[in-house]
Structure 1
């Protein structure tokens, strides 16, 4: 019986993996229907009919809406409670609050980006033929609508992760007079850092078509260029979610460019990126290993790295001295110094 139970568990696990993409598709559906926003607009939990009333559709199928809600309740995105008169009321979980589209901190843009414009290529092709022929951000220069969606997704993560960095990177920016955010996108994170530490002169550095749409932030200048050619001069360099986009060789090249800048003044490199632990049981470990699959499918050689893999590229790039600072976020801080 024990062997049979394990076999059933194994079968169930494979089924779960097989249909894993359904989670993202249904989550995107809920986002597009603004279900979390509809519930949030009421002071309490609401009925299915009240959710339906908030959806603009001349021919809404409430039975389909019920099935969507049943699925997302099962996934602990929404709550459901049966009243004494037999009416089911739906409410928000802490997870659902991250889908509110007008919230100060929201993951709605990243859900839209990952479940819409970025399509995962077959993993079999990656394994047998060696991966992709184009990077996802290359589309941005030719497709303004994709560029807008991609930048919005990156901006929302910059705000969430940037907030965690500011709260948990104690004294990390003390003594830093100038800071360049390499691959800083629309400049949101460097803007928040400079706002919290006004003694810092901030530089937001990214590709021309990215900084072209970046808003102005007090104390921050936008500079366009190619980080694989050179990086603007500064006391410190910060890179959020950049190195996971590239293979080891490109990472080492980029790190060497950082080394050229920082070795002149004894500055430091601040990497904000994931540290993969295949056996980890933390709240984000499953997500990090899932992101490794996304990197395999959507980039040329990009991947999430274990600490040993980080150590390897840091040493090759001229940063043998480093420490990892865990923060309550998807990403960690890797503080590195040039030799």
Structure 2
């Protein structure tokens, strides 16, 4: 076989392809750490601990068959990825593993956790549609339906275990984003007298906003069967209806991760109804969504591209949008003026103001 001389750039290109080819290994190692509750075990000790100590606590009290060698190999990659850190004692004792700023997001009992989302997004049912992308390019259609023969909501209604996994994943990300809204958008909420959360589910977001800003009269608006299961909250009323028909009147409307589920045409219809629901002069719509930055280098900017493919995998017609794409649908819905506000999350706030007649 002839010797092939590769220059440094070509060799680097090959290395990159190997890395991307097996990038799923990071996700699977992370998933195993969440399933084994490794971060929780370390956290419960309040200090760095050895692999033997971690293994002794797996499944609540240790399993005699725990394979420490396998655990060590998984942890070696996660240390390499800076999910955990390892300390080698100077006396030659066993290496001790500790948490990092990353692994603290894996704690199950924390209000600010991504653990349920990791389990959800790496479940075989949700990974399967990603294998259908090339088929979608050739034939069109929705990846999730190609993989499972039905939409994600239909699968959730038929499969209680998957429905619980899905709801837990959505709830944890909602808490994370809600926390970012409350800390990063205080001024924007301070001048609002009444606020309707369109597509608010069972009222988690609006209840937290009203709790932090008691002067706001909160309205949680979603489909009737959704709000009928919503618990009571002080300062919040639940209203059932269809956002494509009409939206309850308020000083402002908030929508968190709603418009990315819909086509441009549907978004314009929803925004038009929002415009009809708020005052023409002082009213505003608060859109909490990803803004894709084509050349962005911020800590969350890569996620805009990944979330766009996530929408391709799991929704029909949903997508993440650049500022240019947001501007187009905002103008179509009667909002030619807007500003983008950064909050400490992968989402931004798009504050849009209605055109005057």
Q: Which residue matches 2:258? A: 242
State which drifts further: 246-255 or 306-315: 246-255
Separation (CA, whole Å) in 1 of partners of 2:226 and 2:160: 10
* Cα displacement (A) at 1:264: 5.8
Separation (CA, whole Å) in 1 of partners of 2:270 and 2:155: 21
Q: Which residue matches 1:188? A: 204
Q: Which residue matches 2:324? A: 308
Separation (CA, whole Å) in 2 of partners of 1:103 and 1:322: 35
* Cα displacement (A) at 1:208: 4.3
State which drifts further: 51-60 or 76-85: 51-60
The one of 70, 76, 80 equivalent to 2:76 is 70
Separation (CA, whole Å) in 2 of partners of 1:274 and 1:218: 30
RMSD value, Cα: 2.2
State which drifts further: 7-16 or 283-292: 7-16
The yes-or-no answer on 1:96 pairing with 2:106 is no
Q: Which residue matches 1:8? A: 11
Separation (CA, whole Å) in 1 of partners of 2:14 and 2:88: 33
Contact in 2 for aligned 1:126/1:297 (Cα 8 Å): no
Unaligned runs of 5+ in 1: none
Separation (CA, whole Å) in 1 of partners of 2:161 and 2:298: 36
Unaligned runs of 5+ in 2: none
Decide whether aligned partners of structure 1 residues 217 and 152 sit closer, same or farther in structure 2, where only a CA change above 3 A counts.
farther
Separation (CA, whole Å) in 2 of partners of 1:338 and 1:138: 36
The one of 36, 41, 56 equivalent to 1:53 is 56
Within-5 A mapping of 1:96-245: 96-116=103-123, 118-121=126-129, 122-132=132-142, 133=145, 135-245=151-261
Contact in 2 for aligned 1:120/1:294 (Cα 8 Å): no
Number of residue pairs matched by the alignment: 339
* Cα displacement (A) at 1:303: 1.3
State which drifts further: 323-332 or 118-127: 118-127
State which drifts further: 159-168 or 143-152: 143-152
The structure with more radius of gyration: 2
Decide whether aligned partners of structure 1 residues 212 and 82 sit closer, same or farther in structure 2, where only a CA change above 3 A counts.
farther
Contact in 2 for aligned 1:272/1:331 (Cα 8 Å): yes
- Matched residue of 1:172: which SS? helix
Separation (CA, whole Å) in 2 of partners of 1:65 and 1:225: 50
- Matched residue of 1:161: which SS? helix
* Cα displacement (A) at 1:142: 4.1
* Cα displacement (A) at 1:10: 1.4
Decide whether aligned partners of structure 1 residues 205 and 277 sit closer, same or farther in structure 2, where only a CA change above 3 A counts.
same
Contact in 2 for aligned 1:119/1:298 (Cα 8 Å): no
Contact in 2 for aligned 1:154/1:185 (Cα 8 Å): no
Separation (CA, whole Å) in 2 of partners of 1:123 and 1:73: 32
Question: Cα deviations across residues 197-222 of structure 1 (Å, max 9, x unaligned)?
Answer: 11111122233454344333221223
* Cα displacement (A) at 1:265: 7.1
The yes-or-no answer on 1:82 pairing with 2:98 is no
Separation (CA, whole Å) in 2 of partners of 1:92 and 1:338: 47
Contact in 1 for aligned 2:84/2:100 (Cα 8 Å): yes
Q: Which residue matches 2:348? A: 332
* Cα displacement (A) at 1:79: 0.6
- TM-score, with normalisation over the residues of structure 2? 0.88
* Cα displacement (A) at 1:147: 3.4
Decide whether aligned partners of structure 1 residues 212 and 154 sit closer, same or farther in structure 2, where only a CA change above 3 A counts.
farther
Consecutive aligned runs of 4 or more in structure 1 exceeding 6 Å deviation? none
* Cα displacement (A) at 1:143: 3.9
Contact in 2 for aligned 1:39/1:51 (Cα 8 Å): yes
Separation (CA, whole Å) in 1 of partners of 2:94 and 2:43: 19
State which drifts further: 299-308 or 204-213: 204-213
Contact in 1 for aligned 2:251/2:279 (Cα 8 Å): no
Separation (CA, whole Å) in 1 of partners of 2:351 and 2:151: 27
* Cα displacement (A) at 1:90: 0.4
The one of 242, 259, 278 equivalent to 1:262 is 278
